[in-house]
Structure formats: C-alpha cells, structure tokens
A and B are shown apart, each in its own frame.
Chain A
Amino acid sequence: MDYVDRVLVEKTKLGERTAFAELVELYKDKIFNYLYRLTGSREDAEDLAQETFLRAYAKIDTFDTTLRFSPWIYRIAQNAAVDMMRRRKPMLYLDEPIASDTESGIAWQVASDCPGPEEQVSFTHLKSEIEETIMQLPTAYRAVLLLRYTQEMSYEDMARTLELPVTTVKTRLHRAREALRIRLLSSGVLDY
C-alpha cells in the first residue's frame, strides 16, 4: 500500500490527475468514515472529505514521499475538521491540550461542551449506545479512539496524524477508553 501510495503521489506531483483520482478512490471511504465518526454528521463528513482531498491536492508538492501518505492525509482531514469546529463552536478545539493529560490520575471531561448528536447529526440509521456515547466524548478523545480502533492506526501514525508525542497519544487513548467506560457504566450499557 505504501508503495502504491508513493507511486500515485509521485505521478500526481507530475500532473497526472488520474493518479490523484486513484488516491481519492483508495482513501475516500477511510477518510469519510473517520470524519463521519468524528463529526457525527454525514453531510459534514462529506464536505470535510472533499475539503481534505482538495487541500491534499493543493499541497501535494510539499508531501515528502519518504514518509507514509496515510498519516499525512488523515492530518489534513483532522485539521479540516478542527477548522470547521472552530468556525461553529469556538470552544471545541481538537488540538487543544486536555487538562487531564498532564495529571497522573485517570480523569475525563464532561461532555457538556460538545454538541449533542441531536443538534448536528442527520441520522441515517439508528445509532448504537456506544456510538452515541463516543459522540459525547471530547473530540480529542474521540479522535484517538477512532484512529486506533476504526482506522487501525499504529501509535506512531497516530502521533504523526495528531502531531503529538507517542507517549501522549497512548495516555490520551487510555483516558479516552476510561472516559467511555465510565459513561457506559453509568448508562447501564456496561455492567460492573
């Protein structure tokens, strides 16, 4: 996959639109799925996915082909989502440090500053409890959970995507899981 990506990126750099079209084809579902899980909205995810690919195309000349393409495109998607959330709700920053990351104990943030699913999601199917609860988590927690478990990323790629040290990624992932666990316990989805 890395090799294919690299070849397609090189061809795109040389001006081959068809190569970029292949890249879009390869990544459209992954990027859309990530953005959908991150925003909870298919409409937003579609807009952001388009924006992601257009940004990627505009910046393709700056991409270092010795690195993996996947974290790069996810980072663009992540930044596009951050920009959108900033425009809509200035208090929600994906790249904002979470206070509890620096604390030694396990902690989580209340979801009161997150937009509720009803406010922003156009449902196309009935969401499961776990999906609902993930949407209530702070977006920074949501991002690590999604990258790790739905995108199957390594810690190193997650670190590159989120532009964080690997240790911070691991800590944040653990706290995100714990926050999710506590919420699911309190809603009775998980048993003690």
Chain B
Amino acid sequence: MNCQEFLHRLDKFVEAKEDMAPPPAGMEHIDECPECKGIYEQHILLGRRIRALPKACAPQGLADKVMASVPASARKRVLGVRLPKLQTIAAVAAALALFVLPLNAMLNQERPFVALSDSAATIQVEGRNIVVPSGVNVRGDIKVVNGHLTVFGSVEGNITLIRSVLVSGPEARIGSVYTVDWTLWQQISYSVTQFAQDVRSYARGMWR
C-alpha cells in the first residue's frame, strides 16, 4: 500500500482504532512511512483532544425554566386530546345499546315468521314449516324468519331466508334467494336496507 492509498482509507484506520476494532489490512504501511503515521496519529489525537474538552453544564435553574414553560395543564391537555375519543366510545356504546342490541335481540328471537308480498297466494303454514304447494304461483317475494320453507310450486319474486332453510321440489321455480347469515354486520346491513326500503315505500305511498 502506498501513501495515497493509505490516506484514501485513513478514515477506516482511524475508525477502527477509535472503535478498538482489529486494524484493517494496510495498516502496516505506517510502520514504513513516518509521514502517514504522523497524520494517522494526529487524527487519533484530535478525537482524544475533543473528548477531553471540559463539559459545559447547564446553568442552574434551566430545568425549572423549562418546566415553568411547559403547559401547567398537562392533565388537561391529555384530557383535551382524549375527550373526543371518550365521547366517540360513549357514542358507539350508546348506539349499540339503542340500536344494535335490540335489533340483535329482535332478529334472534325464536318466533318464526313469514311475510308474503303477494297476499293472494295460497301457501300452507304449519308451525315453522311453510310450504308453497305444487301448482301455486307466488307473484311476489317471500321472507322467512326462523322457518323451514319448502317450495313445490313457483315463486316469481325473491326469497329471503333469515336463519331459515329452503327445500325446493323438482318442479319448483324460484327467483333469487337471499340468505342472511347471522353476523352482526349482516344483521345491521339487512336492517338498514329493509328500513330504507320501508321508507321508500312509505314515501311513494305519500306521493301518490
């Protein structure tokens, strides 16, 4: 290694020395070059000299001045930040209590229920069992809650099954089947959709 190469890598040699790491390859150059050795040692010395500079201590009272300037209402500040969060949590809790939980209870009730939009259709209802007999055509929708729907005839509209089972005969003709699984979000979604439909129907009725 010549002087130029050594000086080019000088920072590596100094760094290794400062970090007490093994000397990198090429370090032996200083054994044969007093000039490079001098520069290297001056770099090491400078680090030591700077380290040895007297420490300037903070003036007395600095911490007090800082703390006097820190907003005294630290707790208030925290509350200020967190209050909206608390309000949000409270609002969500209230919504749960007022809307979701009753809805959940309502939808989870065991009472079977069937709704027909075509009131002229003749269907059979016995307990939880609802049957659309062969030859019967339901022109509208059927919604079943907690029931067992068997279709031998035809349903032109949609069938909505809420915690219900559908069995269809070989001749049955059915439109779309909409099944509501009982995740909370689906209950909410279903309820909101139904509510919107009811509002729309009501508004149409008022308009007419």
Contacts and interface: CB of A to CB of B under 8 A. Distances in A.
Interface in B1-51: 7, 10-11, 14-15, 38-39, 42-43, 45-47, 49-51
B55 A29 contact: yes
Contacts of A36: 56
A31 B55 CA distance: 11
A6 to B, nearest CB: 18
Contacts of B58: 28-29, 31-33, 46, 49
Contacts of A134: 50
A54 B11 contact: no
A68 interface: no
B62 A33 contact: no
B20 to A, nearest CB: 14
Interface residues of A, number: 48
Given A29-B57, A171-B11, A50 B66 contact: yes
B63 interface: yes
Interface in A14-50: 14-17, 20-21, 24-25, 28-29, 31-33, 36-37, 42, 45-46, 49-50
Contacts of A174: 10-11, 14
B70 interface: yes
B69 A37 contact: no
A24 B63 contact: yes
Contacts of B69: 50, 54
A18 to B, nearest CB: 9
B43 A150 contact: no
Interface in A158-191: 170-171, 173-174, 177-178, 180-181, 184-185, 190
A177 B40 CA distance: 11
Given A50-B66, A170-B15, A171-B11, A150 B53 contact: yes
A15 B75 contact: yes
Contacts of B75: 15
Contacts of B42: 181, 185, 190
Contacts of B74: 15-17, 20
A128 interface: yes
Sort A-B residue pairs by CB-CB distance and give the 4 closest, nearest first.
A15-B78, A174-B11, A32-B58, A149-B50
17 contacts: A15-B74, A15-B75, A15-B77, A16-B74, A21-B67, A32-B62, A49-B66, A50-B65, A50-B66, A54-B69, A106-B7, A125-B54, A131-B53, A150-B50, A150-B53, A174-B11, A181-B43
Interface of A: 14-17, 20-21, 24-25, 28-29, 31-33, 36-37, 42, 45-46, 49-50, 53-54, 57, 61, 106, 125, 128, 130-131, 134, 145-146, 148-150, 152, 170-171, 173-174, 177-178, 180-181, 184-185, 190, 192
